[in-house]
Amino acid sequence: MPGSEAVKSNKPEFWDIDQDVDDNKSFILKPPEPELVMDYEVEARNYAKAGKASTDIKLTLKKLGVDPVILRKAAIACYEAEINVVAHSKGGKIFAYIYDDRVLIKLVDDGPGIKNIDQAMLPGFSTADELAREMGFGAGLGLPNIKKNCDAMYITSSLGSNTILAFIIFFTPPES
């Protein structure tokens, strides 16, 4: 499956997973064959194109009849994740793996990586450059927002290396 080989690493990791949903970790690390795969290139600093992949993923989920509340969560999380690749990385790819009960979104970029993932997860922490701030980004709320809007989340990264972010959104939330 495209991109799945890149997920395993010995780099620092951040997980936000519900232990009750025991297979989320293995689902992220070794995704089963999806019903549908989409993939998009994300260009560094291309703010004109930023958000296009997220919009396309959202429209695809909408066509598949995904609940509007879930759709909104997916759109927010995808958008924040895409903007991060545009604003902070040298460019990368977004993969959307769609299943009948969930979507797994994975972003793999070309570096430069995150120095301290726990710090990056803190609301308000940002290393956004001037251009990103001029474009209205850099509030340091992207990663916390992704965490809030998904059901399982994984990041692995270190400085000088690439960043991999993956998250799952269930079409029927586990808690309902």
Ligand X SMILES: Nc1ncnc2c1ncn2[C@@H]1O[C@H](COP(=O)(O)OP(=O)(O)O)[C@@H](O)[C@H]1O
Q: How far is CA 94 from CA 5, 57, 124, in A?
A: 14, 10, 24
Number of residues binding to ligand X, judged by CB under 6 A: 22
Residue 98 vs 132, nearer CB to Mg ion: 132
How many CA atoms within 13 Å lie on the side-chain side of 5? 2
- Does an H or E element contain 15, and which? strand 13-17
Residue 66 vs 81, nearer CB to ligand X: 81
Binding of Mg ion by 157 (CB under 5 A): no
Q: Which does 114 bind (CB under 5 to 8 A by kind): Mg ion, ligand X, none?
A: ligand X
Binding of ligand X by 54 (CB under 6 A): no
Distance CA 124, CA 135 (A): 17
169 touches 27 (CB < 8 A): no
Out of 12, 34, 51, 140, which residue is the one contacting ligand X (CB under 6 A)?
140
Q: Is 12 exposed, middle or buried (0-12, 13-18, 19+ CB in 10 A)?
A: middle
Provide the minimum distance between the beta carbon of 15 and ligand X in the complex, in angstroms, as a whole number. 16
Q: Which does 89 bind (CB under 5 to 8 A by kind): ligand X, Mg ion, none?
A: ligand X
How many CB atoms neighbour CB 44 within 10 A?
14
Distance CA 145, CA 27 (A): 22
What is the contact mask toward ligand X in residues 67 to 86, using x (rule: CB under 6 A)? -------------x---xx-
> Which residues in the 68-87 window bind Mg ion by CB under 5 A?
84
Out of 142, 154, 170, 171, which residue is the one contacting ligand X (CB under 6 A)?
142
What is the contact mask toward ligand X in residues 94 to 123, using x (rule: CB under 6 A)? ---------------x---xx-----x---
In eight-state DSSP terms, residue 34 is P
* Site for ligand X, rule CB under 6 A: 80, 84-85, 87-89, 109, 113-114, 120, 125-128, 137-143, 163
